[in-house]
Amino acid sequence: KNEVEQSPQNLTAQEGEFITINCSYSVGISALHWLQQHPGGGIVSLFMLSSGKKKHGRLIATINIQEKHSSLHITASHPRDSAVYICAVPGGGADGLTFGKGTHLIIQP
């Protein structure tokens, strides 16, 4: 079973700061998912990546397959970025996901 570790568990930052959330996993994978869960509970897929880097707006995700490590970066952070960010990898059968415990991010104005 793939073990997924995220760090930090909690992060509070000021508006405008550059944010980095890290994810490491134990078994080689075909792709890694980054998800966002807002206080209301809904989960949204941010990225699915298998190599290199992807960018969407102020969000950037990178992955190093050899190191079994991925990072999610937020540039020019804003209070609306406050959410739980979850890293997940296939491993639960039919690509059912195995999840990290999430990083609870708070951006203060």
Partner 1 sequence: DADVTQTPRNRITKTGKRIMLECSQTKGHDRMYWYRQDPGLGLRLIYYSFDVKDINKGEISDGYSVSRQAQAKFSLSLESAIPNQTALYFCATQQGRGEQYFGPGTRLTVT
Q: Binding of partner 1 at residue 65 (CB under 8 A)?
A: no
Q: Binding of partner 1 at residue 97 (CB under 8 A)?
A: yes
CB closer to partner 1 out of 77 and 91: 91
Tokens at 74, concatenated: 């937020």
CB closer to partner 1 out of 4 and 77: 4
Q: Binding of partner 1 at residue 39 (CB under 8 A)?
A: no
Q: Binding of partner 1 at residue 86 (CB under 8 A)?
A: yes
Q: How far is the CB of 105 from partner 1 (least distance, A)?
A: 16
Q: Binding of partner 1 at residue 106 (CB under 8 A)?
A: no
8 Å CB contact between 13 and 107: yes
Binding partner 1 by CB under 8 A: which of 5, 92, 106, 108?
Answer: 92
Mind spelling out the 3-state secondary structure of the chain?
A: CCCEEEECCEEEEECCCCEEEEEEECCCCCCEEEEEECCCCCEEEEEEECCEEEEECCEEEEEECCCCEEEEEECCCCHHHCEEEEEEEECCCCCCEEECCCEEEEEEC
- The residues that touch partner 1, with contacts defined as CB under 8 A, are 30-31, 33, 35, 41-45, 48, 86, 88, 90, 92-102
